[in-house]
Amino acid sequence: MDIIIGGGVTGLSYALFTSNKSLILEAEPEIGGYCKTTKRNGYVWDYSGHFFHFNDKDIESIITRSLPINAIRKVDKHTKIKYKDILVDFPFQKNIHQLPKEEFIDCLYDLFTAPTADFSTFKEMLYCKFGKSIADKFLIPYNSKLYACNLDSLDKDAMGRFFPYAEKEDIIRNFKEKNNSSYNNTFDYPYNGAVEYINAIRNSINNCEIRTNTKIVKIDVESKMVVDSNGQKYHYDNLISTVPFPMLLSMCSMPPEDNIYSWNIVVVFNLGFDKKGQNTDTHWIYFPEEKYCFYRVGFYDNVLNMDKMSLYVELGFSKDAIIPMDTSLQRVLDDLKDAGIVHDEKLVDYECLVMNPAYVHINEKSTNHCQVMKAELKKQNIYSIGRYGSWTYCSIEDNIKEARELTNSIIGK
């Protein structure tokens, strides 16, 4: 019996690909993890924006085969950066020519005179790769709001392939030959929200039982037993965990030191208004300035071609922050007006969600510790996978591929 802790994308994908009998134990009342969807009053909202970018056509076919052909909207991404009083195309470093002349010259000069010293932190990488002006105007303030930490505490490759690197030649060429392509230049989104992918995976699973409202609190590594909050015990041959890795270690009576793992919290406000706003073509906007409480605002109405403005608004906090939930909504609405997104539109529905953890903080200490401890757990047939199980920055497709690779590895033993 394979026991899977967590019924999000990764756990469900493992159950989909394995030929072993399996049991999913999910702590929440419903499966999906952060890929849940709220549908009410004509609005479609997720736990933040979940937009799918399939590079592996086999994965895409497997995941979408049970969906109707017209269930998914394919979108060419259109994103902006709110920089002072203007909107600049993303990524910032490839569109510095859109800045006022003096600022453009500063960015260009600093780009070509950037320090060439070795760098080991994320912040140092930004200065060395792009120069002081580009880093100080957007890359550092934005990512500081996103990660809610000192960027010197992150590894230089903390975002991996998802960081929009650009060589000097690419930046210069973009002045005349516009090319803002990235790993997610186009994306897919179900008309009924990200939960449709969860339903599609669930409907394709065989030989697997799913139990919700079942929170695992202890793992007996020696006897291969997990215990839930009601004291019920489950024996496993293989244990697949998708919970945050420090939590798994604690459940296995191997709690890590407090200074090894860190992360941020993201508070998401999903907002529904009575009519369409003035922005009709942008899918999301980045906000580097501290005067705005949010770091990103997304437009579900533009993604889904809806006739009423529907937003997701993301705010980043440190993991130890005291979040002022009672005043945050009004602050968000005030800042949306200040940013020119909301004018005379009236808020008619909303929800507030807390993602904890949201983005993990990747550094040498956490990476090394995670690798060592995952190897130790593997000897006991315990496998930790997924964004939080592997403590990494990855896409939903990466999670699905990791689950598939693990099933092949276990079955091939």
At residue 250, the pLDDT reads 98
pLDDT, greater one: 168 or 336: 336
At residue 166, the pLDDT reads 84
Taking residues 327-355, report their average pLDDT: 97
> What would the two tokens of residue 165 be?
């690197």
Query: For residues 315-328, b (16+ Cβ closer than 10 Å) or e, as one string?
Result: bbbeeeeeeeeeeb
CA angle 18, 23, 28 (to 5 degrees): 120
Taking residues 188-202, report their average pLDDT: 93
* pLDDT reading at 92 higher than 70: yes
Average pLDDT for the chain: 94
| pLDDT tens column, 305-322 | 999 999 999 999 999 999
Q: How many residues does the chain have?
A: 413
Strand partners, 355: 266
At residue 183, the pLDDT reads 52
pLDDT band at 67 (very low <50, low <70, confident <90, very high): confident
Domains of the chain: 2-50+191-261+363-411 (3.50.50.60), 79-84+92-173 (1.10.3110), 264-355 (3.30.70.1990)
At residue 366, the pLDDT reads 96
190 CB neighbour count, 10 Å cutoff: 24
Taking residues 364-372, report their average pLDDT: 97
Residues 77, 186 contacting (CB under 8 angstroms): yes
Half-sphere exposure of 341 (CA within 13 A, CB side): 33
| pLDDT tens column, 283-308 | 999 999 999 999 999 999 999 999 99
Q: Is 294 exposed, middle or buried (0-12, 13-18, 19+ CB in 10 A)?
A: buried
What distance in Å separates the CA atoms of residue 10 and residue 407, rounded to the nearest whole number? 12
Residue where the block lists tokens 């120069």: 131
The fraction of the chain above a pLDDT of 90, given in percent, is 84
What distance in Å separates the CA atoms of residue 245 and residue 391, rounded to the nearest whole number? 7
Q: Which amino acid is at 277?
A: G
H helices present in 35-121, as ranges: 57-64, 101-112
At residue 51, the pLDDT reads 81
Cα-to-chain-centroid distance, residue 103: 31
What distance in Å separates the CA atoms of residue 300 and residue 37, rounded to the nearest whole number? 12
Query: For residues 387-413, b (16+ Cβ closer than 10 Å) or e, as one string?
Result: bbbbbbbbbbbbbbbbbbebbeebeee
The DSSP code for 159 is T
* pLDDT reading at 389 higher than 90: yes
> What would the two tokens of residue 88 be?
């600049």
What distance in Å separates the CA atoms of residue 119 and residue 161, rounded to the nearest whole number? 18
| pLDDT tens column, 116-171 | 888 999 999 999 999 999 999 999 999 999 999 999 999 999 998 888 888 889 89
R_g over Cα of the chain: 22
At residue 90, the pLDDT reads 95
What distance in Å separates the CA atoms of residue 322 and residue 13, rounded to the nearest whole number? 35
| pLDDT tens column, 31-66 | 999 999 999 999 999 988 778 778 888 888 888 888
* Helix and strand counts by DSSP (H, E) for the chain: 13, 19
What φ, ψ does residue 242 adopt, rounded to 5°?
-120, 5
- The pTM assigned to this predicted structure is 0.94
